[in-house]
Structure 1
Amino acid sequence: MQLMPTLIHRNYVAAAAAQNDVYALGGAVRQKITKRTALTADYYYLFPGNTATNFRNALGLGVDLETGGHIFQLHVSNSLGMTEKFFVPETTGNFFAGDLYFGFTVARHFTIRPH
């Protein structure tokens, strides 16, 4: 489990009513199901302000699949953005109304051993 106090600062915002500083509180969990499989979830609550009035809280669910040295992460979210700058302050989708986006990442684990 993880709790994430969050501050996103944007130097430039497109509208005068938009906030340069957006405060949020995130939470995440990861639960191993088997030795090579885990379920994940994350949620960001936007604190009250113009951003919270115009955008939604981000929610994501996922699964991690480990295969030898690779880790495949498959996730579904109501946010189109993939980095904090976009998914915390600019989520427009409603997760429970079917506004879902699918994403994935692949990571490779390397081990360097001295000769």
Structure 2
Amino acid sequence: MDKDHTLQNLRTSDNGSYIDFLRDRLNELGIEAIACDLGEEARGHRYALLLPHDGDAPRAWQALHQAPGEHEHHLQLADARDNRLIAFCRSAAVRRASLALLALVLLGSLAEALLQH
């Protein structure tokens, strides 16, 4: 195998979604990268980000240096998930459903009050 076909290990992690995020980030920059599951038996981290072309290494390392760290990425995902939940809770459909449920509760209370008299 010649040198251009040696895979360079850029990053390892136990978080496969983070490795996928980094691969996608590199691919968007035109840098081919491979996300690899090393299996449950792997010593150390389970997932690896591999670079198939040495010529891309300087740009890849620069892009990884600028990318959010694993913890920051996790916080960004949680923040995005929270924002989607907040947007859903504030949506017109949820407001209508809440009003309909409130109307049902009030009607039930009214019916119960009328039946007790």
TM-score bracket, normalised by the shorter chain, equals: under 0.3
TM-score, structure 1 normalization: 0.21
Larger % of helix: which? 2
In terms of fraction of residues, the more strand-rich structure is 1
Larger radius of gyration: 2
Higher relative contact order at CA 8 Å, sep ≥6: structure 1 or structure 2?
2
